[in-house]
Chains A and B, each alone.
Chain A
Amino acid sequence: MASLKELSKRKEGLVAGHRLCAGCGEGIAVRQVLLAAPRPLVCAVATGCLEVSTTVYPYTSWNCSLIHTAFENAAATISGVEAAFEALKARRKIGEDFHFIAFGGDGATYDIGLQALSGALERRHRFLYVCLDNGAYMNTGIQRSGATPLGAWTTTTPVGKKEPGKLEWRKNLTAIAAAHDGTYVAQTTISHWKDLTQKVEKALSYNGPSFINILAPCPRGWRTKESQTVRIARLAVETCYWPLFEVENGKWQINFQPREKKPIEEWLKLQGRFKHLFKEENRPVIEKIQNYIDTEWEKLLALSSL
């Protein structure tokens, strides 16, 4: 794995001047992914915060080739780019070996783009799909998605007299990706840069499809302080809300086991989107979340011991 010193000397993939919010987890995640990725590289990006903030015509923050077409199809678009590369290489019209990454937010991946992602994984294109999970449709103004955690406030799951935020559990997308046999699948986040770098390197050296789900806190949507983004990501790992793990050749492996699992309250209380859960009448919701996380963690422990 590249050392921090080596990484610090690499050319930035995403350069300064983009218009992502202060404290945005996505910007940190993409910068880390691009630092870890070998060159030459072509990226695709789904419609969303990342796309609208980094490609404001006639400017671009991308140091490598980038294509954006629509919301639900970053996986299909990059699979076309990869197929073109293979075709042109076979005809000897291209010499260099390229790498391919698609970026999509959770709306673009858990929801509207799930089919295109599944298709591209099944067709076994050589590419990495990175989901930047900030748990809601942030670009359109914080609407709930299939990645929004239970109990969270969003503009479409407002806290009212009858409903205390989102009523459903989030979808386990990483496990869905892992159901595509022969795909390298991992979950990571920005607070663990070594883990993230290692996984990106592994994914891009893999001769087949790969998928990495990266938790990317959003100060606007999560109602958190801009300075706390990385801390909140770390707490998500330490409370086991967002375990770091990978699935390689069907083998599940946990990459980080907290010595002491922190209670979920510690993570929830830093975020305005969960503020209402701390009212007496909503206490059972926190309990419910804690139980869910415990069960999921046990399941993961069992899977990784197989």
Chain B
Amino acid sequence: MTAKKKVAAITANVACAYAMKQIDPDVVPAYPITPQTTIMEEFSNYVADGAVNTRLMRVESEHSAMSAAIGASAAGARVMTATSSQGLALMWEMLYIASALRLPIVMQNVNRALSAPINIHCDHSDSMGARDAGWIQLFSENAQEAYDNTIQAVKIAEDMRVRLPVMVLYDGFIVSHAIDRVELLDDEVVKDFIGDFKPVYSLLDVDNPVTVGPFDSLNGYYFEFKRMQEEVMRRAKSVIIKVGEEFMKVSGRSYGLFETYQIEDAEYVLVLLGSAAGTARVAVDNLRQQGIRIGLLKLRVFRPFPFEEIAKALNSAKIVAVLDRSISPGSQGGPVFQEVCSALYSFDCSPVIVNYIYGLGGREIELAHFFKVVSDLEDLSEKRSKESFVRYLNLRE
């Protein structure tokens, strides 16, 4: 018999702050930035009320937030923080150091455009800029996924086969500030699920002093360290799957590397990540009613990128349209497109693949835009064109 579900009508930021309360981390260094702010405001209330035992450090910048997170994690503490956009950009230097030191820090990044012009609304430029920083990246479609991913992130990060920092990502305002239906787990369930954190090395081990972050030179081991980091990231995939299965048992909600919708017989497949998946699903339903064989693949895990699994899932499609909510000036298409291309090419898959850049700086994406994509795909199909392209949705040209 299962207990009665606890359901709340809350925003993703409130849900994530609640997850943090349940996780009760040892140290949280944080700096305010829109649209992350309300996570930290909400969490500050828990601290002020004594609902958590966390040392909340209201630091003077995101650079110091990540530096303090690294110091605290190396000292054996369970550490969380959150940021957005320019904040993540300011942390850039420290992101690489956190992952290279193999510190299991968990951080929400509420996706927001990067300046200039300054813009507080959603796109994925911030997290995509951090894609090579050695962090696991879990994207969330809605408040429920943001909450669930936050809890799973702790277990993934701290797994002895991983010990890497994890970024939980969700869309600024669209998800962070929209009230949504969220099923919450009991405190005890969360506590049991994540377990205790046991550091491998700690600066606070009296009997075994340790030097963390030493100097390595030309004849040193830098290359070997980096190769090991890459190997661990690769292996994290199976841990992410396993943690998802365990989470299913306690929550009834299933999580894998990505989610597919109606792709089994699909001629056309849309690939994207984040909140636009909701609109895409409705578009798929509408188009299916018109007899168009279309499906959706929503990515959850962007790092490590599930190349083989993606290639397998897309292999029987005729045309794949990848939608990117960030731009990579000077490259052929956005970051998601590049990864999917690489997956299809590496595993010798046949679909034609095209790219749409959308939603920069919070620009709306509506059903009509998905219909436009699909009419493009039908044109391509009629012409039997094998040509790839990069187009823009809802852009004034």
Identify the A interface with B (CB < 8 A). Answer: 40, 42, 44, 51-52, 55-58, 60, 62-70, 72-73, 76-81, 83-88, 90-91, 93-94, 96, 98, 115-116, 118-120, 122-123
The answer to whether A88 touches B211, judged by C-beta atoms less than 8 angstroms apart, is: no
Cβ-defined partner of B209 (8 Å) among A55, A65, A116: A65
B125 smallest CB distance to A (angstroms) = 24
Which of B70-78, B138-146, B301-309 forms contacts with chain A?
Answer: B70-78
We find that the number of chain B residues with CB closer than 8 angstroms to chain A is: 44
Q: Given the complex, which residues of B lie within 8 Å of A60, measured CB to CB?
A: 211, 214
Contact A57/B214 with A77-B68, A83-B68 known, Cβ cut-off 8 Å:
yes
The answer to whether A67 touches B71, judged by C-beta atoms less than 8 angstroms apart, is: yes
The answer to whether A80 touches B211, judged by C-beta atoms less than 8 angstroms apart, is: no
The answer to whether A80 touches B94, judged by C-beta atoms less than 8 angstroms apart, is: no
Q: B220's closest neighbor in chain A, by CB?
A: A57
Q: How far is the CA of A88 from the CA of B198 in the complex (A)?
A: 12
Is B67 part of the contact surface with A, judged by Cβ < 8 Å? yes
Cβ-defined partner of B211 (8 Å) among A65, A94, A122: A65
The answer to whether B221 touches A57, judged by C-beta atoms less than 8 angstroms apart, is: yes
Q: How far is the CA of A73 from the CA of B91 in the complex (A)?
A: 11
Cβ-defined partner of B70 (8 Å) among A56, A69, A88: A69
Q: How far is the CA of A123 from the CA of B68 in the complex (A)?
A: 12
Q: Given the complex, which residues of B lie within 8 Å of A86, measured CB to CB?
A: 55
The answer to whether B215 touches A51, judged by C-beta atoms less than 8 angstroms apart, is: yes
The answer to whether A79 touches B61, judged by C-beta atoms less than 8 angstroms apart, is: no
* B71-93 Cβ-contact flags toward A at 8 Å (1 or 0): 11111110100000000000001
The answer to whether A80 touches B212, judged by C-beta atoms less than 8 angstroms apart, is: no
Q: A87's closest neighbor in chain B, by CB?
A: B26
14 new A-B contacts, CB < 8 A, other than A42-B203, A56-B215, A115-B64, are A55-B215, A65-B205, A66-B210, A67-B74, A72-B63, A76-B59, A76-B68, A79-B57, A79-B59, A81-B71, A84-B73, A87-B26, A87-B53, A123-B57
Q: Given the complex, which residues of A lie within 8 Å of B205, measured CB to CB?
A: 65
Which 10 A/B pairs are nearest by Cβ-Cβ distance?
A80-B71, A119-B60, A80-B68, A84-B75, A76-B64, A84-B77, A76-B67, A73-B67, A55-B214, A80-B72
The answer to whether A62 touches B217, judged by C-beta atoms less than 8 angstroms apart, is: no
The answer to whether A57 touches B55, judged by C-beta atoms less than 8 angstroms apart, is: no
Q: How far is the CA of A81 from the CA of B57 in the complex (A)?
A: 11
**Mind listing 17 A-B residue pairs with CB under 8 Å?**
A58-B221, A66-B209, A66-B212, A69-B71, A73-B94, A76-B59, A76-B63, A80-B67, A81-B74, A83-B29, A84-B204, A87-B53, A88-B26, A91-B53, A115-B60, A115-B61, A116-B63
Contact A65/B93 with A77-B71, A80-B29 known, Cβ cut-off 8 Å:
no
Q: Given the complex, which residues of A lie within 8 Å of B214, measured CB to CB?
A: 55-58, 60, 68
A147 smallest CB distance to B (angstroms) = 22
Q: How far is the CA of A98 from the CA of B70 in the complex (A)?
A: 18
Is B3 part of the contact surface with A, judged by Cβ < 8 Å? no
Contact A62/B209 with A57-B220, A70-B93 known, Cβ cut-off 8 Å:
yes
The answer to whether B64 touches A84, judged by C-beta atoms less than 8 angstroms apart, is: no
Q: A83's closest neighbor in chain B, by CB?
A: B55
The answer to whether A81 touches B75, judged by C-beta atoms less than 8 angstroms apart, is: yes
Is B320 part of the contact surface with A, judged by Cβ < 8 Å? no
The answer to whether A83 touches B72, judged by C-beta atoms less than 8 angstroms apart, is: yes
The answer to whether B211 touches A66, judged by C-beta atoms less than 8 angstroms apart, is: yes
Q: How far is the CA of A63 from the CA of B204 in the complex (A)?
A: 13
The answer to whether A119 touches B70, judged by C-beta atoms less than 8 angstroms apart, is: no
Q: A86's closest neighbor in chain B, by CB?
A: B55
Q: How far is the CA of A115 from the CA of B59 in the complex (A)?
A: 10
Q: Given the complex, which residues of B lie within 8 Å of A80, measured CB to CB?
A: 27, 29, 57, 67-73, 75, 79
Q: How far is the CA of A86 from the CA of B363 in the complex (A)?
A: 45
B346 smallest CB distance to A (angstroms) = 35
Cβ-defined partner of A76 (8 Å) among B55, B71, B77, B79: B71
Cβ-defined partner of B64 (8 Å) among A52, A64, A93, A116: A116
Cβ-defined partner of A94 (8 Å) among B97, B204, B210: B204
Scoring B68, B97, B221 by chain A CB atoms within 10 A of each residue's CB, the highest score goes to B68
Q: How far is the CA of A70 from the CA of B94 in the complex (A)?
A: 8
Is B116 part of the contact surface with A, judged by Cβ < 8 Å? no
The answer to whether A70 touches B75, judged by C-beta atoms less than 8 angstroms apart, is: no
Contact A62/B54 with A77-B68, A79-B68, A115-B60 known, Cβ cut-off 8 Å:
no
A302 smallest CB distance to B (angstroms) = 32
B172 smallest CB distance to A (angstroms) = 26
Q: How far is the CA of A120 from the CA of B79 in the complex (A)?
A: 18
Is B7 part of the contact surface with A, judged by Cβ < 8 Å? no
A31 smallest CB distance to B (angstroms) = 17
The answer to whether A84 touches B76, judged by C-beta atoms less than 8 angstroms apart, is: yes
Q: Given the complex, which residues of B lie within 8 Å of A119, measured CB to CB?
A: 59-61, 64
Scoring B29, B74, B75, B97 by chain A CB atoms within 10 A of each residue's CB, the highest score goes to B75
Q: Given the complex, which residues of A lie within 8 Å of B29, measured CB to CB?
A: 80, 83
Q: How far is the CA of A52 from the CA of B215 in the complex (A)?
A: 6
Q: How far is the CA of A58 from the CA of B74 in the complex (A)?
A: 18
Is B213 part of the contact surface with A, judged by Cβ < 8 Å? yes
B135 smallest CB distance to A (angstroms) = 16
Contact A84/B67 with A57-B216, A122-B60 known, Cβ cut-off 8 Å:
no
